[in-house]
Chain A
Amino acid sequence: MSALLSIRNMTHYFGGLKAVSEFSYDIPPGVIYGLIGPNGSGKTTTFNLITGIYRPTQGQVFLEDRDITAQKPYLIVRAGIGRTFQNLRIFGGMSVLDNIRAAKQYRAKSWMLSSVLRLPGFMNEEKRIRDESMALLDVLHLADRAGDLARNLPYGALRRLEIARALATEPKLLLLDEPAAGMNPKEVQDLMKLVQRVRDEFKVTVFLIEHHMKVIMGICEYVKVLDFGTTIAEGKPDDVGRDAKVLEAYLGKKGAAC
């Protein structure tokens, strides 16, 4: 099976600090793939390297066998990778609907002049974008808040809005950076169902970073465990959960705390 996303020997330094070391993996299409590891283990850095925010010190990223290493972020999005952020980056001063519509803009074909003159082609396209955006908000239970300023939404809804906005770019691969951060157990439950539903309905592959063991164990079909930039275990969630090195590096401490 050919992989949707392949990462080859990726290494990244921040000054003298090795944040990601000799990273290689393949994500097959259609799965929910989890990346887990303690704080500072290089999870978010991995996402930033994939999406072109950082340029890797060495190594390559392939999306469907196409080399996208260190391309401009907006071109990587257009190639088919959408992402959310650990610390939300919502367009707060815009309406919920406009957050989605902004993410659909790069596919729009109307010229600026056409939008100034309100030509029929532009009007039709605007209507199509609006309808598609409303449909997307409906799926994520945000349709009733469409007209509200995004910054006025409660935290859980903002998390969903970020997922909706990433989906609006029509990605093949959806990167979720700690989607359950700051959520209560009920919200975490809903989020897990949502991620599975999004995978099925939008036919996307999900690559997620999480701290919550429950989320990783509950929905991921494949898990990779990082510690200080190196992979210490990978495989099916149940197998990883029994790995001694993982328990020592991460689960053991976590288990004691719980």
Chain B
Amino acid sequence: MTTIAETGGDTAAGAPLVQVQDLEMYFPIYKGVLRRQVGSVRAVDGLSFDIRRGETLGLVGESGCGKSTCGRALLRLYEVTGGRITFEGRDIAELAGNALRDMRPRMQMIFQDPQACLNPRMTVGSIISEPLDEHHVATGEEKRQRVRELLEAVGMNPEFANRYPHEFSGGQRQRIGIARALALAPDFIVCDEPIAALDVSIQAQVVNLLQDLQEKLGLTYLFISHDLSMIRHIADRVAVMYLGKIVELAPVEELFNAPKHPYTKALLSAVPVPDPAVEAKRERIILTGDVPNPANPPAGCRFCTRCPDAIDRCSVEEPVWRNLGPAKGSNGTVEDHFVACHRVE
């Protein structure tokens, strides 16, 4: 049984820090000599979810499904096409100018490629202190002290402040990126595939660091990744995206043990398990075909072209986003399980 009070958040897991309602992000397509707009890529098309204070919300999906666009839109790195993004009760989708700038220190981002996101001509110290300068937080000795603290917080030698990014390995560069994101003491961090570019043995170091920092500083993460086993490890709740829509959202164990949406099931069965005994006898759902073009998504359910369970209704009527009722969350809390599919009872 579900009531409005239950779906409205404010459950034991903490009040929502970020609330997203019908978020839309379309990118225009221009063609011809006059560069007329002929259509748009619907990268993010009507997302609604909450991120609770102190939790890690995992966002998974394949390339091109809109997960990075969603992360960037939440931070207002884009002018969103439609919808509301409420951060601590303020709608930041509407903010502009100085009002938006004042909100920026509260929310930060960690990027995928630690090589590309650090300016090779700046020292590590100036990279980390740039946000402090921008927002006039600290100067002089106070600033240098803060940089040293930040480097220590991410497990690096404070003496490294005078070195350049090329002197560091991938894992260390990612630590520098994390230190920069922490500089303004944010509440909310969007981690956009923070470990995808790192080697397996280094991934664990970075993930452990992110978890330690979350515990110490009470951070809230949106953790975007295509690595489902890492999502299972780090996330409290997981949202699965396909072609601009969230198809399923559930507490992490519930999603991995009892997935409801056919796409989630296929995605989970496609992840190779590092155990030959399991690999030899597991059942795989092999999807046929490819992800359709987001500029011209199929009618009805977007997954209907590849779905093994599709019926006629799926290609006509778009499934509604509905609550299946409470499921067991992490730390004994009760969370809701949402899905958008006609075939789920």
A binds B: no
